[in-house]
């Protein structure tokens, strides 16, 4: 292994993009291939203590820096990494996506794009300007590209463009890159030399929310059923996994792949709800033959996806169940041995906010190839779980 190239990670969270960086030249994570260690995260930053604990547990060689990025000088970040300006090969990170997520649109300030956290995009530009990396990768929710946030998104692109990085952006579907999840994220990538970055071509194909067109020349999407293969069987569900209460009985009657619409006059369940009166994820059950829908960071008590199989309560009643930690890890394409602690809800919050590593790897690998650090011959992208 030659000299490792240093990476500065901002808004690191659970470290999905960090993991993608450190294993950019590796086979899929489940294979146990760690790659040649071309890239190393020198410093990872976040303000969330559980996220920092996750980073420390999984990235032993990376320094961590806690604090609000708005109060942390770029010089402090570089010093913590043992770097000077122009030395990082990459700056990576996903500013907190809450201001741009559809899940926050019931708040007027979010609908009108007045969330103060949106300024974190400007902090990302500030660090790129002062650290002068060879390239950068910024990731966020698809909602950042919506008309509602046009001013913030254009300011981000303009700020990065004025630095000479020629930023390119694209919304990518995680399932198209071997992740068993229909999760859309926007990536913004730029190079210090101003050369245009070309996004990687999809390696997988299948049905999504918007198309039934399938490219037979590509590997089929990885399904939730395939993702869960080999996981230990657990017949007894913990209390926090059981979907009970007001809609517990209704949820248990919904077939795999269906949601609350099953209980409307147009489907085979009870005529309990009005047609299209709820969000799509309300009482949603996974379909084992398709990728999962987006794993949300902070779902309400009736928001899926829930597992397609029911469990029994202590009194013998059938109920749907929430996903277990090892299942969420699989749906996010993290390795099985990834360490993430805390309550089930805290684990889901970290994973739901993370970049699926296999999706991140596709972008990182493409960038490092175009920069000349990797050979253009890429490894197999077929993800095997277990």
Catalytic site positions: 97
Pairing between β-strand 318-319 and β-strand 311-312 as defined by DSSP bridges: antiparallel
Calculate Rg over the CA atoms of the chain.
21
Closest C-alpha to 263, from 209, 314, 320, 181: 320
- In degrees and rounded to multiples of 5, residue 258 shows phi and psi of -105, 170
**Structure-token match 């993800």, residue found:** 383
160 within 8 A of 167, measured Cβ to Cβ: yes
Q: Helices in the chain by DSSP H: which ranges? A: 16-22, 49-58, 74-81, 108-111, 120-131, 150-162, 224-227, 248-253, 325-331, 344-352, 357-370
Residues in the chain: 386
> Listing from the earlier edge strand, what are the strands of the sheet with 90-93?
63-66, 39-46, 5-10, 90-93, 135-141, 184-191, 168-173
């Amino acid at each position: 292994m030659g000299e490792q190239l240093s990476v500065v990670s901002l808004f690191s969270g659970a470290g999905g993009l960090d993991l993608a960086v450190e294993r950019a030249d590796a086979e899929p994570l489940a294979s146990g291939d760690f790659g040649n260690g071309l890239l190393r995260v020198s410093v990872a930053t976040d303000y969330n203590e559980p996220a920092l604990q996750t980073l420390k547990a999984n990235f032993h060689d990376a320094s961590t820096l806690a604090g609000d990025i708005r109060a942390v000088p770029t010089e402090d970040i570089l010093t913590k990494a043992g770097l000077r300006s122009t030395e990082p090969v990459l700056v990576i990170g996903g500013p907190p996506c809450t201001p741009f997520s559809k899940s926050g649109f019931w708040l007027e300030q979010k609908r009108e794009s007045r969330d103060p956290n949106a300024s974190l995009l400007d902090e990302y530009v500030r660090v790129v300007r002062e650290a002068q990396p060879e390239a950068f990768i910024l990731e966020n929710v698809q909602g950042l590209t919506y008309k509602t946030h046009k001013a913030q998104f254009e300011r981000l692109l303009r700020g990065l463009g004025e630095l000479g990085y020629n930023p390119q952006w694209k919304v990518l579907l995680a399932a198209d890159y071997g992740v068993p999840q229909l999760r859309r994220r926007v990536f913004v990538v730029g190079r210090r030399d101003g050369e245009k970055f070309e996004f990687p071509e999809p390696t997988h194909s299948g049905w999504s929310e918007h198309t039934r067109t399938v490219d037979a020349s590509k590997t089929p999407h990885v399904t939730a059923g395939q993702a869960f293969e080999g996981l230990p069987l657990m017949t007894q569900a913990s209390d926090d996994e059981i979907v009970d209460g007001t809609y517990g009985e209704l949820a248990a009657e919904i077939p795999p792949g269906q949601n609350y619409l099953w209980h409307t006059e147009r489907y085979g369940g009870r005529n309990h709800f009005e047609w299209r009166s709820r969000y799509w994820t309300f009482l949603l059950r996974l379909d084992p033959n398709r990728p999962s829908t987006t794993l949300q960071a902070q779902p309400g008590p009736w928001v899926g996806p829930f597992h397609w199989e029911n469990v029994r309560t202590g009194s013998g009643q059938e109920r749907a169940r929430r996903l277990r930690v090892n299942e969420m890890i699989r749906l996010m394409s993290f390795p099985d041995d990834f360490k993430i602690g805390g309550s089930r809800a805290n684990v889901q919050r970290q994973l739901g906010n993370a970049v699926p590593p296999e999706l991140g790897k596709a972008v990182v690998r493409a960038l490092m190839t175009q920069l000349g650090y990797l050979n253009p011959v890429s490894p197999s992208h077929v993800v095997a779980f277990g």
